[in-house]
Amino acid sequence: EVQLVESGGDLVQPGGSLRLSCAASGFTFSNYWMFWVRQVPGKGLVWVSRIDNAGSRTSYADSVKGRFTISRDNAKNTLYLEMNTLRSEDTGVYYCARYGDYVTGFQHWGQGTLVTVSS
Amino acid sequence: QSALTQFASVSGSPGQSITISCTGTSNDVGSYNLVSWYQQYPGKAPKLIIYEVNKRPSGVSHRFSGSKSGNTASLTISGLQAEDEADYYCCSSTDTTFIVFGEGTKLTVL
């Protein structure tokens, strides 16, 4: 069974930094692109970042470009999101997600980790 | 990239059919057959119910169906049940960013 478990969410002041992790199990992690999606409580979903299976290609939403860095450690089956210069609008639940097999949609999601940026 | 447009809420009675629309532009919904739909209960992660406009992942009820015309995608739920009460989000590939989600529609089963 595919499992994605996020951690690292916390209350942080504006301008601060945080690193999120997503531990993957139940599948061959190194075979899949991975994604981060954010949801402000009570609001919609926003794609944040993605990384290819080898970790060599990444892309970001404009709102986080230059401040967030996605990475992965295939030996540890773990996805990361390094978040710097945090702003109040970065507040939300951060999900890691994966497409299904032969399914072009996010079929697998973690439970999410809450990041609150506030003074 | 602005979010795809969805009505904030829709309602229906048990047994009825309802349709949720998702309007984008020629740069996203209109250009790609990569529209997906997600169902989300409060406090839970989203669940994929439709991908590639009209395909259902294994295990998703046949009561859910998707379609697209021009820049607008639609999700239809037939034989509405109480358990369908949830938030629904569309998503599309885009020319600019990787993907864009809709604003979300809250479905109330009366």
Mean pLDDT by 10 residues, chain B (110 residues): 91 97 95 96 96 96 97 97 97 90 96
User: Shortest Cα distance from A97 to chain B (angstroms)?
Assistant: 10
pLDDT above 90 as % of chain B: 93
Are residues A81 and A49 in contact, defined by beta-carbon separation less than 8 angstroms?
A: yes
How far CA A3 is from CA of A10, A48, A78, A98, A110, in Å, comes to 22, 20, 11, 10, 7
* CB pairs < 8 Å spanning A and B: 61
| Per-residue confidence (pLDDT) for residue A71, from 0 to 100 | 98
**Which amino acid appears at position B35 of this protein?**
V
Q: Do A105 and B52 touch (CB under 8 A)?
A: yes
Quote the tokens at residue B97. Answer: 């960013």
Q: Do B100 and A47 touch (CB under 8 A)?
A: yes
Residues A56-75 pLDDT 10s: 999 999 999 999 999 999 99
Contacts A101 to B, Cβ<8 Å: none
| Per-residue confidence (pLDDT) for residue B95, from 0 to 100 | 87
User: Shortest Cα distance from A59 to chain B (angstroms)?
Assistant: 8
| Per-residue confidence (pLDDT) for residue A66, from 0 to 100 | 97
SS3 A89: helix
Out of A50, A103, A109, closest to residue B98 by CB: A50
Quote the tokens at residue A37. Answer: 């999606």
pLDDT above 90 as % of chain A: 94
CA–CA dist A71, A54 (Å, integer)? 10
Residues in chain A with pLDDT < 50? none
The chain-wide mean pLDDT, for chain A, equals: 96
| Per-residue confidence (pLDDT) for residue A42, from 0 to 100 | 85
